[in-house]
Structure 1
Amino acid sequence: MSASTTDRAASQRPRLGRDFSQLWWSAAVSSLGDGATIAAAPLLATRLTDDPRLIGAASVAVTIPFILFGIPAGLLVDRLDIRTMMVRVDIARAVLLAVLALGILGGWGGLPLLYVCMFLLGVGEVLSRNAAQVLVPFITPQAGLATANARIMAAQEAGTGFIGPLLGALMFGVAVALPFGVDAATFLCSAVLVSRIRGTRPIEPAPVRAGVLSEMLAGAKWLFSHHLLRSLALISCLINLAGNAMLAVLVVYSGKELHLGPFGYGALLACQAVGAVVSSRFAPALTERLGREGALVATAVLIATSETILAAVPSVYAAGAALAIFACGTVTWNVVVVVLRQTLVPQHLLGRANSVYRLVAWGGLPVGAAAGGIVAAEVGTRAVFGVGAVAMALVAVALLVGARRQWITRAEQSTAQAPLPADTD
């Protein structure tokens, strides 16, 4: 490659700025601790019970807040200072994890405490992730949105799926409470980093005549009136249902069928993160090459392939490859749909519309975790993977039909021509 070509490529690369750097480091550090907890929590559950349903309940507890608190969280994000809220949420999660670590050390850290802590961590995740996605368009140029979201996803996946789980599994072997204490420390670091962000989203004052209920419903009305985003939310729900059913029983599958210990389970999660990091690096270019419709079809095919491999080939190496493929699909999907939300939703409704989207999309997480535990207990873990493969194959067909009709391009054109809806009734 010539020097002029290199210089031209560098000049075309979007500069994301100092504020984005602070946000990226916050996501990277906190995700590292989260990865330790993601590996340690189900390992702790397996020490307390051998019932797949009770083990899967830990995943239900951490994901069900997206159903219960998704819409109120969106209203808070639209009405409060994002930086202050993110800092306070990180501090609260640090305290919560410290309590869990102390409970384990004190001998009173049983399943009830684990479920309560996972539930409250999920509440914090609802607020923090929504706030971060709303903040990104205000601290990065629009031309860099795809790159910015991909980099944050890469940091999150590297921490939660690769480095964090490996460290979490190792720390769990040293001391059961250690990974939870480390996660508490990473949240404190994240709070410091977020507090140093200078730019933010202007706080929108609440309309004088608007009630809390009508404000919350404004985002829902806008989202459900938008055919493209409504459809993507429903498809995301199905993807999350199938994917979380798989992940909820993975610790059982790795132990009983693959005969892996805690470190082996962490290594499996690391395979997922490797795929996610690789995908986040190339997802923007892949989307540009295939088009957004084609990229979404490809993601469904990848996820269906990963579930098929898990169901058909009981091998450690096949499982690692399947998890890497699964992550490639989910990260590419997220890069496309997050940018669509950030560009199509009016800014004053972004937090609420984003939370409603998450309410629908992430609503599949607790349902999938519960269903995965039940099916695994009654039929076996490989049956969970087989059902997921069939569901994702149907999703791929539906997306292919939409791609042939250019539904994203047509939706963007209709959105640009339509007048903005009022904030309230």
Structure 2
Amino acid sequence: MSASTTNQVGAQRPRLGGDFSRLWWSAAVSSLGDGATIAAAPLLASRLTDDPRLIGAASVAFTAPFILFGIPAGLLVDRVDIRAMMVRVDLARAGLLALLTLGIIGGWGGLPLLYACMFLLGTGEVFCRNAAQVLVPFIAPKNGLATANARIMAAQEAGTGFVGPLVGALLFGLAMAVPFGVDAATFLCSAVLVSRIGRTKPPEPAPDRAGVLSEMLAGAAWLYRHHLLRSLALVSCLINLAGNAMLAVLVIHSGKVLHLGPFGFGVLLACQAVGAVTASRFAPALTERLGREGALVATAVLITTSEAVLAAVPSAYAAGAALALFACGTVTWNVVVVVLRQTLVPQHLLGRANSVYRLVSWGGLPIGAAAGGIVAAEVGTRAVFGIGAAVMAVVAVALLVGAHRKWITRAEQSKEL
């Protein structure tokens, strides 16, 4: 191999470094446990009640903190040692899951405890996901951001969507408490890995009390003025609303319509991971080939198709394929928009602007989960998927118009800040 060829390979596959490897392993290990909880929590709720609204409430409890604590999380991430914060949050989540495990074993782990634990786990997720995305640009080279984000998403999706749900469903069949105990152990491992990261974003001086509100609003003001990212945040909200409505009632659909047991439900979740891992590997190349505008249009089409298939075809095989398509779309979307945020937002505002973006985009998660449970209770799960397909079809048309106008390219050329 010639020197020029070696240089080209190095340019195509940037070295991400040991600190990134530790962050990646942290994401992979904790996502494995999260996948077990993602499968076990709705199964536990369905054992405690048959009301779709109460089952969907577990998802609402987990995602509500994305609205409540999005902006405060961004302010905190910009002001503290990210590494130390992530370690403390992981340790707290490990203790929380240990409590839930003991509650289930002791017979006092009912719906109130499940909802409380899911709410606090969601709160930790808000802080740690925001922190991790802010940390990536400090531990990975700029030309490797797309690769770094894609690898972390692949690790997260493989854990939460493939290995974790299968393990969680199997363990839940053996004993309801075991999946939550496994998740507690993975958070302990994650805390150790994060503690060994050497480089981190330096904390900024804390503002005085009078300036805290203005500091919190600075990220919101910047995002509001940035037409491109503001628009992407709103579109992300609609995607999350349709997607989480689907996922919130999937356990009901798999049992009542597809006639699957707990392990079959785990397999359905695993189908998502197959699509997600595939997308995370090829999303950078697909984005380069189609352009970022074209890649976003393609993601909306994939998600629309997946929702339509779930609504129209009552088959477990079709549902598995649809969930794989859904994950392909969401991961590709995230790879594109995360890199845009990391490159367009000023470094000193990255945590706050990132959290405001999440506040808007993840605001669709609890709304979608609640709406999905209500619609499923009234007219069935297939109606939830049909409404989601209609919403995503409108999104796809809007993105096609934006692609025709080259909105991403024009925003970068004009340095719209």
- TM class, shorter-chain normalised? over 0.9
Please state whether the residue corresponding to 1:64 is helix, strand or coil: helix
Cα distance, 1:39–1:5 mapped onto 2, change above 3 Å: farther
- Residue 268 of structure 1 aligns with which residue? 268
C-alpha separation in 2, matches of 1:203 and 1:220: 20
What's 2:56 paired with?
56
Displacement of 1:414 in angstroms is 2.3
Give the C-alpha shift of residue 171 in structure 1. Answer: 0.4
Aligned to 1:421: none
| Distance across 1 between alignment mates of 2:2 and 2:371 | 55
What is the distance in 2 between the residues matched to 1:220 and 1:321? 38
Deviation string 1:190-213 (CA, Å, 9 cap, x unpaired) is: 000000000001111135686111
Instruction: Give the Cα separation in 2 of the matches to 1:295 and 1:185.
Output: 38
Q: CA 1:209 to 1:128, structure 2 compared with 1: closer, same or farther past 3 Å?
A: closer
Cα distance in 2 between the residues matched to 1:159 and 1:293: 29
Gaps of 5+ in 2: none
Residue of structure 1 in register with 2:180 after alignment: 180
Letter in 1 for 2:396: A
Per the alignment, residue 9 of structure 2 pairs with 10
Q: Residue 296 of structure 2 corresponds to which residue in structure 1?
A: 296
Question: What do residues 360-397 of structure 1 show as CA deviations (whole Å, max 9, x unaligned)?
Answer: 00000000000000000000100000000011010000
Aligned residue number for residue 102 of structure 2: 102
State the distance in 1 between where 2:346 and 2:386 align: 40
> CA offsets, 1:169-194, max 9 Å, x none?
00001111000000000000000000
1:3 Cα offset (Å): 7.8
- Partner of 1:198, secondary structure, is coil
Amino acid corresponding to residue 30 of structure 1 in structure 2: S
Corresponding residue number in structure 2 for 1:371: 371
The residue that corresponds to 1:351 in the other structure is 351
Query: What residue is the counterpart of 1:199 in the other structure?
Result: 199
**2:129 aligned counterpart, secondary structure:** helix
Which residue is equivalent to 2:160? 160
Corresponding residue of 1:42: 42
Gapped regions of structure 1 (runs ≥ 5)? 419-425
Q: Distance in 2 between matches of 1:11 and 1:355?
A: 33
Any idea what SS the aligned residue of 2:414 has? helix
1:312 corresponds to 2:312: yes
The verdict on how the C-alpha distance between 1:405 and 1:105 changes in structure 2, with shifts beyond 3 A counting, is same
Q: Deviations over 1:146-171 (max 9, x none)?
A: 00000000000000000000000000
Distance (whole Å) between structure 2 residues aligned to residue 311 and residue 7 of structure 1 = 49
Aligned runs of 1:277-292 on 2, under 5 Å? 277-292=277-292
1:205-284 → structure 2 map (5 Å cutoff): 205-207=205-207, 211-284=211-284
Residue of structure 2 equivalent to 1:423: none
State the alpha-carbon separation in 2 of the partners of residues 259 and 126 from structure 1.
Answer: 34
Indicate how the Cα distance of structure 1 residues 396 and 5 shifts in structure 2: closer, same or farther if over 3 A, else same: farther
Shift of 1:8: 5.0
CA distance in 1, matches of 2:27, 2:329: 21
Inter-partner Cα distance in structure 2 for 1:126 and 1:9: 38
Greater Cα shift, 198-207 or 337-346: 198-207
Provide the C-alpha distance between the structure 1 equivalents of 2:5 and 2:108, rounded to a whole number of angstroms. Answer: 59
In structure 2, give the amino acid aligned to 1:33.
Answer: G
Task: Identify the residue that residue 91 of structure 2 maps to in structure 1.
Answer: 91
Q: Deviations over 1:283-330 (max 9, x none)?
A: 000000000000000000000000010011110100000000000000
In structure 2, the CA distance between the partners of 1:208 and 1:413, relative to structure 1 (3 Å rule), is farther
1:328 alignment partner in structure 2: 328
Give the letter for the 2:191 counterpart. Answer: A
CA distance in 2, matches of 1:84, 1:236: 30
Relative to the length of structure 2, the TM-score reads 0.98
Q: Go from structure 1 to structure 2 and tell me whether the alpha carbon gap of 1:33 and 1:211 turns closer, same or farther (over 3 Å shift).
A: same
CA RMSD of aligned residues (A): 1.2
Mapped to 1, the partners of 2:415 and 2:301 lie a distance apart of 28
Identical positions, percent: 84
Aligned residues: 416
- The match for 1:82 is 82
AA aligned opposite 1:305: T
SS in 2 for 1:296: helix
Counterpart of 2:147 in 1: which secondary structure? helix
Residue matched to 1:388 = 388
Question: Matches of 1:16 and 1:54 in 2, distance apart?
Answer: 44
Distance 1:6 1:325 in 2: 35
Residue 409 (structure 1) aligns with? 409
Query: Secondary structure, in 3 states, of the residue corresponding to 2:109?
Result: coil
Q: Using the alignment, how far apart are the partners of 2:177 and 2:339 within structure 1?
A: 38
Opposite residue 255 of structure 2, the aligned amino acid is G
Q: 1:165 to 1:3 in 2, by over 3 A?
A: farther
Q: Using the alignment, how far apart are the partners of 2:412 and 2:122 within structure 1?
A: 33
Paired position in structure 2 for 1:113: 113
- 2:415 is paired with a residue of what secondary structure? helix
C-alpha spacing 1:250/1:5, structure 2 compared with 1 (3 Å):
farther
Q: What is the identity, as a one-letter code, of the residue corresponding to 1:261? A: G
Separation (CA, whole Å) in 2 of partners of 1:391 and 1:290: 24
1:415 offset after TM fit, Å? Answer: 2.2
Residues in 1 aligned to 2:341 and 2:360: alpha-carbon distance in whole angstroms: 14
Give the Cα–Cα distance (whole angstroms) in 2 for the partners of residues 11 and 80 of structure 1.
Answer: 34
Distance 1:410 1:79 in 2: 33
What is the match of residue 130 of structure 1?
130
Residues 66-113 of structure 1: per-residue CA shift (max 9 Å, x gap): 000000010000000000000000000000000000000000000000
Give the corresponding residue for 1:143. Answer: 143
Q: Distance in 2 between matches of 1:374 and 1:193?
A: 41
Scaled by the length of structure 1, the TM-score of the pair is 0.96
Distance 1:349 1:377, change over 3 A: same
CA distance in 1, matches of 2:209, 2:240: 38
Alpha-carbon distance between aligned partners in 1 of 2:4 and 2:155, rounded to the nearest angstrom: 28
